[in-house]
Structure 1
Amino acid sequence: MANEKALLGAGCFWGVEHIFRTIPGIVSTEVGYAGGTTKNPTYQEVCTGATDHAEVVLVEFDPSVISYEGVLDVFFRLHDPTTLNRQHNDIGTQYRSVIFTYSEEQQQKAKDYVAKVDASHVFKNPVVTQVMAAPEFFTAEAYHQDYLIKNPSGYMCHILRP
Structure 2
Amino acid sequence: MSAHTPTPALPLQNATLAGGCFWCLEAVFLGLKGVRAVEPGYSNGQHPLPTYERVCGGDTGHAEVVRLSFDPSELSYTELLAVFFKIHDPTTPNRQGHDVGTQYRSGIYTHSEEQAREARAVIEALTRSGAYDRPIVTDVAPVSNYHTAEAEHHRYFERHPYQGYCAMVVAPKVEAFRHAFAHLVKGPGA
TM-score where L is the length of structure 1: 0.97
- Percent sequence identity over aligned pairs: 43
Aligned to 2:22: 13
CA RMSD for the aligned pairs? 1.0
Aligned to 1:77: 86
> How many residue pairs end up in the alignment?
162
**Higher RCO structure (Cα 8 Å, ≥6 apart):** 1
Give the letter for the 1:116 counterpart: A
Higher helix proportion (structure 1 or 2)? 2
Residue 61 (str. 1) matches residue 76 (str. 2):
no
Counterpart selection for 2:155 from 146, 149, 157: 146
Secondary structure in 2 matching 1:112:
helix
* Distance apart, 1:97 and its partner CA: 0.1
Counterpart selection for 1:104 from 97, 110, 113: 113
* Distance apart, 1:136 and its partner CA: 2.4
Secondary structure in 2 matching 1:69:
helix
**Alpha-carbon distance in 2 for matches of 1:27, 1:95:** 24
Give 1 or 2 for the bigger CA radius of gyration: 2
Deviation per CA, 1:9-59: give whole Å up to 9, x if none: 000000110000001001000000001111121100000111100000001
List gaps (5 residues or longer) in structure 2: 1-9, 181-190
8 A contact 2:46–2:145 mirrored in 1: no
**Alpha-carbon distance in 2 for matches of 1:49, 1:19:** 25
**Alpha-carbon distance in 2 for matches of 1:40, 1:65:** 35
Secondary structure in 2 matching 1:73:
helix
Counterpart selection for 2:136 from 127, 140, 154: 127
**Alpha-carbon distance in 1 for matches of 2:71, 2:49:** 28
TM-score where L is the length of structure 2: 0.83
**Alpha-carbon distance in 1 for matches of 2:148, 2:103:** 15
